[in-house]
């Protein structure tokens, strides 16, 4: 199992902040959406950038714990589904999904990228609730 634990601290349509803890060390992984580019920052330092109006990169590969020579470390993959969560108005208050994963498995998953979201509904009623976004 991975030596990291992850937790979403803040999520809006343009920003995601994830707290990563390894032992006594804490890191902040950030995703920022701008008009013409997206940035991924680790502890405030730019790690990756994707540009364009449409079709920007949504999967980012990062390496944590690399030594000064550039060896070692753990590979972590950040996946972002930047669509708005409110499919009726397009004015949701958060991205549709985010997932952080290592080679040994997911650290955290939310929304459309959560494996539970991919499970097929068992009844028609469950299907309607999922498709319409209703809960009762």
Parse the chain into domains and list their residue ranges.
5-132
User: For 53-79, what is each residue's pLDDT tens digit?
Assistant: 888 889 999 887 777 887 888 889 999
What is the rounded average pLDDT for all residues in the chain? 83
For the chain, give me the number of helices (H) and strands (E)? 1, 9
Instruction: Flag whether pLDDT at 1 surpasses 50.
Output: no
CATH topology (fold) of 5-132:
Lipocalin (2.40.128)
Distance of alpha carbon 84 from alpha carbon 94, whole angstroms: 6
User: For 75-130, what is each residue's pLDDT tens digit?
Assistant: 899 999 988 655 555 556 788 889 999 888 889 999 888 777 666 667 777 766 76
The pTM is what?
A: 0.75
């Amino acid at each position: 199992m991975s030596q990291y634990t992850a937790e979403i601290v803040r999520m809006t349509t343009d920003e995601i902040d994830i707290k990563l803890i390894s032992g006594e060390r804490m890191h902040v992984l950030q995703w920022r959406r701008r008009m013409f580019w997206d940035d991924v920052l680790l502890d405030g330092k730019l790690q990756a950038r994707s540009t364009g109006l449409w079709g920007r990169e949504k999967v980012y590969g990062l390496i944590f714990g690399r030594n000064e020579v550039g060896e070692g470390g753990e590979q972590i993959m950040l996946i972002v589904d930047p669509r708005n969560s409110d499919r009726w108005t397009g004015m949701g208050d958060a991205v549709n999904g985010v997932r952080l994963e290592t080679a040994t498995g997911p650290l955290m998953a939310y929304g459309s990228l959560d494996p539970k979201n991919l499970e097929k509904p068992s009844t028609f009623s469950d299907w309607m609730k999922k498709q319409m976004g209703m809960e009762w």
